[in-house]
């Protein structure tokens, strides 16, 4: 009886150890799980001449980080403060953000000191080490009508951004990629557009197969109904009317 009791005790102890081991593994997994973060350009981004005017009081001057597990909100980068590369212009605001792995890519707008229209890379772990990613003057042009709008990243790593009247493309070498001698999407014809003055948002659709190109979709806003449109362009850019794949009139957007 004593020997059997010892065996039972040993078995129970073994089972208890196995359950304890499982419990510890689960706790370890839970404690090492990475919570998702949402990065926000806080403040009111300027929407351009004719809609709202740009100014330090109504522009976005801060990037916030929201922990989606704890709902804790913190500041990632404040454009009023110093960073390793120097300072941001007083009229520089955040127009668009793109996730880039360990970094955030930031498109800025400055309608006063237009040379501060740039794309920056912000390390998530050390935002003080923010650096200029691209300042190609052929893409980030210093013209009043070329207000930067929306930044997106394509599957090949290239960047596209709208600047009111056109869409520009920046390669992985951080330099402008033209379509012929023009912007990547420049003056698309009907039905994609009747005129282009306010391309407010841009997105890319991936290719359906390995041999077909994707699509560029942009939203255009205007002060008359026909100007409010969605345009769909071949991902290879726009150079001839056939590159406009489709276009449709939509409700007013900003």
Nearest to 166 by CA among 192, 205, 132, 191: 192
Cα–Cα distance measured from residue 120 to residue 89, given in angstroms and rounded to the nearest whole number: 13
Cβ neighbours for 49, distance < 8 A, ≥ 6 positions apart: 144, 145, 147
Q: How many helices (H) and strands (E) does the chain have?
A: 1, 15
Q: Which residue has the tokens 């955040």?
A: 94
Position 2 scores a pLDDT of: 52
pLDDT digit string, tens, across residues 197-209: 888 899 998 876 6
Position 167 scores a pLDDT of: 94
Position 198 scores a pLDDT of: 86
Tell me how many degrees the CA angle 83-104-77 measures, rounded to the nearest 5: 35
Position 22 scores a pLDDT of: 40
* DSSP-assigned states of every residue in 214-247: -EEEEEE--SSGGG-EEEEEETT--SSGGGEEEE
Cα separations in angstroms, 1 against 6, 7, 8, 231: 9, 10, 11, 85
E runs forming strands in the chain: 37-42, 62-67, 72-78, 93-100, 103-109, 119-123, 131-134, 150-153, 159-162, 166-170, 185-186, 199-205, 215-220, 229-234, 244-249
Q: What is the mean pLDDT, run by run of 10 residues, along the chain of 254 residues?
A: 48 38 40 76 54 54 91 91 86 91 94 93 95 96 93 92 93 94 90 84 80 82 84 90 90 64
Position 91 scores a pLDDT of: 84
What is the Cβ-side half-sphere exposure of residue 222, based on CA atoms within 13 angstroms? 16
Position 253 scores a pLDDT of: 58
Cα–Cα distance measured from residue 108 to residue 149, given in angstroms and rounded to the nearest whole number: 9
Quote the pTM value: 0.78
Position 218 scores a pLDDT of: 92
Position 207 scores a pLDDT of: 76
């Amino acid at each position: 009886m004593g020997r059997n009791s010892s065996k039972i005790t040993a078995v129970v102890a073994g089972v208890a150890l196995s359950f304890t081991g499982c419990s510890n593994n689960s706790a370890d997994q839970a404690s090492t799980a990475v919570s998702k973060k949402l990065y926000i350009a806080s403040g009111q981004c300027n929407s351009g001449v004719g809609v709202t005017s740009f100014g330090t009081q109504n522009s976005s001057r801060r990037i916030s980080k929201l922990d989606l597990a704890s709902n804790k909100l913190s500041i990632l980068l404040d454009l009023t403060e110093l960073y390793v590369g120097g300072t941001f212009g007083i009229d520089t605001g955040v127009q668009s953000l793109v996730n880039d792995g360990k970094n955030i890519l930031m498109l800025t707008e400055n309608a006063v000191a237009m040379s501060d229209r740039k794309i920056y890379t912000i390390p998530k772990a050390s935002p003080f080490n923010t650096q200029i990613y691209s300042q190609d003057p052929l893409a980030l042009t210093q013209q009043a009508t070329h207000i930067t709008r929306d930044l997106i990243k394509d599957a090949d790593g290239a960047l596209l951004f709208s600047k009111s009247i056109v869409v520009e493309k920046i390669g992985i070498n951080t330099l402008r990629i033209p379509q012929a001698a023009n912007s990547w999407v420049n003056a698309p014809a009907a039905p994609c557009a009747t005129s282009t003055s306010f391309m407010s948002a841009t997105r890319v659709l991936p290719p359906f197969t390995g041999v077909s190109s994707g699509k560029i979709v942009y939203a255009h806003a205007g002060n008359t109904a026909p100007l409010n449109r969605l345009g769909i362009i071949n991902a290879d850019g726009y150079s001839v009317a056939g590159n406009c794949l489709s276009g449709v009139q939509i409700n007013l957007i900003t």
